[in-house]
Structure 1
Amino acid sequence: MGLLSQGSPLSWEETKRHADHVRRHGILQFLHIYHAVKDRHKDVLKWGDEVEYMLVSFDHENKKVQLVLSGEEVLETLQEKGERTNPNHPTLWRPEYGSYMIEGTPGQPYGGTMSEFNTVEANMRKRRKEATSLLEENQALCTITSFPRLGCPGFTIPEYTPNPVEGGASKSLFFPDEAINKHPRFSTLTRNIRHRRGEKVVINVPIFKDKNTPSPFIETFPEDDEAAKASKPDHIYMDAMGFGMGNCCLQVTFQACSISEARYLYDQLATICPIVMALSAASPFYRGYVSDIDCRWGVISASVDDRTREERGLEPLKNNNFRISKSRYDSIDSYLSKCGEKYNDIDLTIDKEIYEQLLQEGIDHLLAQHVAHLFIRDPLTLFEEKIHLDDANESDHFENIQSTNWQTMRFKPPPPNSDIGWRVEFRPMEVQLTDFENSAYVVFVVLLTRVILSYKLDFLIPLSKVDENMKVAQKRDAVLRDMFYFRKDICKGGNAVVDGCGKAQHSTEPAVEEYTLMSIDTIINGKEGVFPGLIPILNSYLENMEVDVDTRCSILNYLKLIKKRASGELMTVARWMREFIANHPDYKQDSVITDEMNYSLLLKCNQIANELCECPELLGSAFRKVKYSGSKTESSN
């Protein structure tokens, strides 16, 4: 989760005093990096995935499942047995926001050969097995996006009571500070977001109106005036960073061959973000209720929204410099490549002084406005030992701002004095229950980047339409019920090569007929006379590549899962979870998820993840049955 500095964290007031210093030196650090590596070419295509996990404990006797607050201890052992003992260990482990969470990645990035696709699932399985081996009896490692009863009384083990009154980090009514990772970055982020905003964060998720759900659905918070004012009728109210950052996701980072290729990929993949998010939808439940959304994106966006009332446009600007239209966790606000320039139709708030400074230093308009937009934000955490740095050889101040702009795509300059190249990070995916599913989504996105670069495809549409797609993608069953703006001819505009797209004959304004509304089935699988479909294009690419039989079989299995999720033949995780709860004998059609219902759901999820039972509605026949003993709850009922 971004930059993890060690040291003595400063309060918000102290951090605020150094904000201009951090911004000023962050820009100098970026300029040092840019001038050192702007002309770097021919970096090898490398990539890697990040999977976030939750630790859970099953109480079979009382039919209850809780989040286990032992992430730091498990992580320490994993690192000690892994990378600290052997630098070439096949897995790497990192902390995450929740003290019940850990993050696993491959030990080394994957390379550019097709056979690498056949190693992804094996590595994910190795991660699951490694971490599971350290757990106690009746504990399990789960890849679920949101824990259904997060924030309900007693949702952690050990159990803690939230403290909304006295000096805690979140002052949440529901989420105890003990559930936050003990690394000072996380609690400092939580506290400083709240202090900068001037009030607790506000998350309101529409409740799913079932047959017996009260209408209007209203929760009362007599002990908390702030909550009483912030909560909305017919919505599930949440009030802490943990409700967003305490969820899990699946991310992929790519190293491009050059800065221009990275910018091209950043733009093209930005248009794919809402499509893949809807396809990977896996989070329909919040705070013990069934919601009317399927994805966590808006929840996590609200959970870290540090904008003041002035910045949100609720009061006249007086103490702040800018009106800011989005949370710092949201979709991108500008394309970076020249061929994307005409599609930049969102009003972009920038720091004009930083923008001018970057132009004077030889940075082009598009990259300068991107960085100047990121730097309208304040640093949220600062460590006393990290205030004064060597700008030519360190990048902590730049990363301080960069890594707390959590957008759908992230454009990542190389670290100073490293052999790492220009990278882009694809960030919208929800984590899936099984290693097979997670591998399928990763391989699909990575293969798509290969096809984009090989065929010079062009998915660009006005960025405002991508934003509309992001809103639609989070809706319940969006993958089947909704339509998305997508480019009709993805080859015509893509004839412009990566380094020369600025020289191609583009009009200055996008034509309305360039894009239209399509279903995800059409976008993924194609429809004659409308759109060729991404899967058929990937299949065509595979036919022209030398691929060994085993790898080809694996890739086709993964693509089959994506294809069937898009068509509705297979359910998304979110739809499958909804059906499971709806059919539970204890469910009263009132949108409430009880402890026992949560236990049944998570037990089933764990059995599916460890291949102890089949789930054809979710996985179909594409799922390869390779048994392994990765669960410590196999004997459970």
Structure 2
Amino acid sequence: MGLLSKGSPLNWEETKKYADHVRKHGIVQFLNIYNKVKERQKDVLLWGDEVEYMLIEMDEKNGKVRLVLNGGEVLETLQDKGEKTNPNHPTLWRPEYGSYMIEGTPGQPYGGTMSEFNTVEDNMGKRRREASSVLNKNETLATITSFPRLGCPGFTQPEYKPTPVEKGVSKSLFFPDEAINRHPRFSTLTRNIRHRRGEKVVINVPIFKDKCTPSPFVEKFPEDDGEAARAALPDHIYMDAMGFGMGNCCLQVTFQACSIEEARYLYDQLATFCPIMMALSAASPFYRGYVSDIDCRWGVISASVDDRTGEERGLEPLKTNKFRILKSRYDSIDSYLSSCGDRYNDIDLTIDEEINKQLLDAGIDKLLAQHIAHLFIRDPLSLFEEKIYLDDENESDHFENLQSTNWQTMRFKPPPPNSDIGWRVEFRPMEVQLTDFENSAFVVFIVLLTRVILSYKLDFLIPLSKVDENMKVAQKRNAVQEGMFYFRKDIYKGERMRVRFQCFETCEGDNEYTLMSIDTIINGKEGIFQGLIPILNCYLENMEVDVDTRCTILNYLKLIKRRASGELMTMAKWMREFVDKHPQYKQDSVITDRINYDLLRKCDSITNGEERCPELIASFTHAAKHPRKTDY
């Protein structure tokens, strides 16, 4: 979860006084890093995944599931048993926004050999077993994207009530401050986003209109002082706190490239896959105890950290703010970084002109300069008193302050100062899946895709405005089967590769891309697109891969293939069908405690291999049952 400085956090009024200081020194820190490592070449192709988990308690007696707010203690125990004891421990654990959340990564990054793909699921299994072994009775580790009754009365263990009218950081009607991680960064972000915005964040998610759902669907909030009534939209589920977005879980992958040029190329190419992979991994159809009409969390998170003032959102004329800002700081990327992506940059890009000029004058090229100048239109949100005055030659906290609070679909990451880490890109849109097998499949698919992109020099670029349109489609209910996505038709730059894969002649302008289904994009359709799976299979045929690793990879690709075709459900669709068939469901879009308990009990059984789910994970999977903590 970004930069985790320690010290005395400043409130928004104090932070605002140092905003220009942070930007000024952040640019100096970036330039210092850039000038030291811009010529760096031949770094190893390393990569790693990040899986976020929720700690939940199964109360069988009362038929309830609650989020357990002891993530800090669990994290400390895991670190004490792991990396603090053995620097080469195979797993690493980090905090996340919710006090019921933890994040697990491999202890060391994976390398460039194909055999590494055969270790991903095993490492995820180690993480799950490690964390499960330190939980209490009736507690379990869940990889679910959105807790269905997050924000409902009594959703935490221990139970805390929200404090909308008292002193606190979120002042939410639904989400208690105790559900926020106790590290000061998280509460500071929550408070300062609200103070900078001038009001609580506003999240409105369309409700799924079932047979008995009230029409219009309008909620009343007893403790509301009028703010919620003004903000909540009819036929929408209203939420009012950062926790409703950042309290969700996701699956992310970070890649180290060989050079800055390769990192920029990968950043651009992978950006076009963000909506596709988000729709394929869709896993979050429920919010605040209601069935929604979306399948993905992205828009919810985007709204949950939207600190823009009314002026910046275009609701009022600019007076005290400098910029009209078109998006939340958690959103899709706004510009490509590679030279081949420049002509597809068709989105209005708001930049700080002074910073842009400073970067250009320092020798930074136009595309990278405008990228940084765009990130730096934002204010710092979390600043610690001890971290105001830094050594710009050897520290990068001010740069990271703004870099790490621009939460976009892709993140371009310069090396830390004085480290052996190279230029990296982070792929951020995917939703977390129930099982280690599924999560491994998504990770291996996207990593394998990067290898094919680099090996064949593929080009998936389309106008960035079309990627934004795809992002909107991807979040809709059942987008995998019903959505149509803009995608490039001819992805080969050279005639030799075009002939080899029997693809179409080079197209220009609007003819370069067309609307395709995800099935067509992943599996191919004659006369339209050859499909990613056939391309990956061809790549594998030409690689030296041991039999066991090849079998593992092919099983992962089968999962992706069948999800794309609709033969297997997304987790979001499966959860919807489970609720719809539940005997207590009244077709009123309400998820009761009992429905939630039965759903998450089923999820837990599938996750731990105690129960098969052929609609979600076909029988070809070879994922072994993960032992319970009692077996560890």
**Once the two structures are superposed, what CA deviation does each residue of 1:332-364 show, in whole Å capped at 9, x if it has no partner?**
000000000000000000000000000000000
What SS does the aligned partner of 2:430 have? strand
User: In structure 1, what residue type is equivalent to 2:203?
Assistant: I
User: In structure 1, what residue type is equivalent to 2:591?
Assistant: I
Q: Aligned pair in 2 of structure 1 residues 511, 552: CA closer, same or farther (>3 Å)?
A: same
- The match for 1:458 is 459
- The match for 1:502 is none
Q: Counterparts of 1:300 and 1:325 in 2: how far apart (Å)?
A: 16
Matched, 1:569 2:567: yes
Asked whether the 8 Å contact 1:136–1:632 carries over to 2, the reply is: no
- The match for 2:512 is 514
- The match for 2:624 is 626
- The match for 1:240 is 241
Matched, 1:612 2:610: yes
**Once the two structures are superposed, what CA deviation does each residue of 1:553-599 show, in whole Å capped at 9, x if it has no partner?**
00000000000000000000000000000000000000000000000
Q: Counterparts of 2:379 and 2:495 in 1: how far apart (Å)?
A: 37
Asked whether the 8 Å contact 1:310–1:323 carries over to 2, the reply is: yes
- The match for 2:271 is 270
Q: How does 1:58-77 map to 2 (within 5 A)?
A: 58-77=58-77
Out of 555, 558, 569, the position equivalent to 2:556 is 558
Alpha-carbon distance, 1:495 to partner: 8.9
Alpha-carbon distance, 1:621 to partner: 1.5
- The match for 2:170 is 170
**Once the two structures are superposed, what CA deviation does each residue of 1:415-456 show, in whole Å capped at 9, x if it has no partner?**
000000000000000000000000000000000000000000
Q: Counterparts of 1:586 and 1:579 in 2: how far apart (Å)?
A: 13
Alpha-carbon distance, 1:203 to partner: 0.1
- The match for 1:205 is 205
Asked whether the 8 Å contact 2:7–2:385 carries over to 1, the reply is: yes
Q: How does 1:81-120 map to 2 (within 5 A)?
A: 81-120=81-120
Please, which moves more after superposition, 2-11 or 625-634? 625-634
Q: Counterparts of 1:494 and 1:484 in 2: how far apart (Å)?
A: 26
- The match for 2:5 is 5
Asked whether the 8 Å contact 2:48–2:106 carries over to 1, the reply is: yes
**Once the two structures are superposed, what CA deviation does each residue of 1:71-115 show, in whole Å capped at 9, x if it has no partner?**
000000000000000000000000000000000000000000000
Q: Counterparts of 1:50 and 1:308 in 2: how far apart (Å)?
A: 32
Alpha-carbon distance, 1:633 to partner: 12
Asked whether the 8 Å contact 2:134–2:629 carries over to 1, the reply is: no
TM-score, length basis structure 1: 0.97
- The match for 1:542 is 540
Asked whether the 8 Å contact 2:47–2:109 carries over to 1, the reply is: yes
**Once the two structures are superposed, what CA deviation does each residue of 1:471-490 show, in whole Å capped at 9, x if it has no partner?**
00000000000100000000
Q: Aligned pair in 2 of structure 1 residues 494, 135: CA closer, same or farther (>3 Å)?
A: farther
Q: Counterparts of 2:545 and 2:627 in 1: how far apart (Å)?
A: 31
- The match for 2:525 is 527
Alpha-carbon distance, 1:297 to partner: 0.0
- The match for 2:148 is 148
Q: Aligned pair in 2 of structure 1 residues 603, 633: CA closer, same or farther (>3 Å)?
A: farther
Q: Counterparts of 1:579 and 1:490 in 2: how far apart (Å)?
A: 37
- The match for 2:331 is 330
Asked whether the 8 Å contact 1:56–1:66 carries over to 2, the reply is: yes
Alpha-carbon distance, 1:371 to partner: 0.1
What SS does the aligned partner of 1:170 have? coil
Asked whether the 8 Å contact 2:114–2:549 carries over to 1, the reply is: yes
Q: Counterparts of 1:340 and 1:293 in 2: how far apart (Å)?
A: 31
Identity between Structure 1 and Structure 2 (%) = 81
Asked whether the 8 Å contact 2:180–2:243 carries over to 1, the reply is: yes
What SS does the aligned partner of 1:429 have? coil
Alpha-carbon distance, 1:625 to partner: 4.5
TM-score, length basis structure 2: 0.97
User: In structure 1, what residue type is equivalent to 2:533?
Assistant: I
Q: Aligned pair in 2 of structure 1 residues 478, 631: CA closer, same or farther (>3 Å)?
A: farther
- The match for 2:388 is 387
Matched, 1:343 2:344: yes
Alpha-carbon distance, 1:492 to partner: 3.1
Query: What stretches of structure 1 of length at least 5 have no aligned partner?
Result: 497-505
Q: How does 1:338-377 map to 2 (within 5 A)?
A: 338-377=339-378
Q: Aligned pair in 2 of structure 1 residues 633, 580: CA closer, same or farther (>3 Å)?
A: farther
User: In structure 1, what residue type is equivalent to 2:428?
Assistant: R
Q: Counterparts of 2:58 and 2:623 in 1: how far apart (Å)?
A: 25
What SS does the aligned partner of 2:174 have? coil
Please, which moves more after superposition, 604-613 or 620-629? 620-629
Q: How does 1:408-427 map to 2 (within 5 A)?
A: 408-427=409-428
- The match for 1:159 is 159
What SS does the aligned partner of 2:527 have? coil
What SS does the aligned partner of 2:300 have? helix
Q: Counterparts of 1:581 and 1:598 in 2: how far apart (Å)?
A: 8
What SS does the aligned partner of 2:411 have? strand
Q: How does 1:252-331 map to 2 (within 5 A)?
A: 252-331=253-332
Asked whether the 8 Å contact 1:457–1:495 carries over to 2, the reply is: no
Q: Aligned pair in 2 of structure 1 residues 491, 72: CA closer, same or farther (>3 Å)?
A: same
Q: Counterparts of 1:383 and 1:275 in 2: how far apart (Å)?
A: 38
What SS does the aligned partner of 1:28 have? helix
Alpha-carbon distance, 1:628 to partner: 3.2
- The match for 2:443 is 442
Please, which moves more after superposition, 268-277 or 220-229? 220-229
What SS does the aligned partner of 1:83 have? coil
Q: How does 1:390-401 map to 2 (within 5 A)?
A: 390-401=391-402
Q: Counterparts of 2:359 and 2:550 in 1: how far apart (Å)?
A: 46
User: In structure 2, what residue type is equivalent to 1:367?
Assistant: L
What SS does the aligned partner of 1:227 have? helix
Asked whether the 8 Å contact 1:571–1:617 carries over to 2, the reply is: yes
What SS does the aligned partner of 2:418 have? coil
Q: Counterparts of 2:31 and 2:303 in 1: how far apart (Å)?
A: 32
Alpha-carbon distance, 1:221 to partner: 2.3
RMSD: 1.4
**Once the two structures are superposed, what CA deviation does each residue of 1:171-223 show, in whole Å capped at 9, x if it has no partner?**
00000000000000000000000000000000000000001000110001253
- The match for 2:501 is none
Alpha-carbon distance, 1:631 to partner: 5.6
Asked whether the 8 Å contact 2:56–2:142 carries over to 1, the reply is: yes
Query: What stretches of structure 2 of length at least 5 have no aligned partner?
Result: 498-505
Q: Counterparts of 2:63 and 2:39 in 1: how far apart (Å)?
A: 60
User: In structure 2, what residue type is equivalent to 1:213?
Assistant: T
What SS does the aligned partner of 1:191 have? helix
Alpha-carbon distance, 1:632 to partner: 6.5
**Once the two structures are superposed, what CA deviation does each residue of 1:389-425 show, in whole Å capped at 9, x if it has no partner?**
0000000000000000000000000000000000000
Q: Counterparts of 1:407 and 1:627 in 2: how far apart (Å)?
A: 35
User: In structure 1, what residue type is equivalent to 2:6?
Assistant: Q
- The match for 1:433 is 434
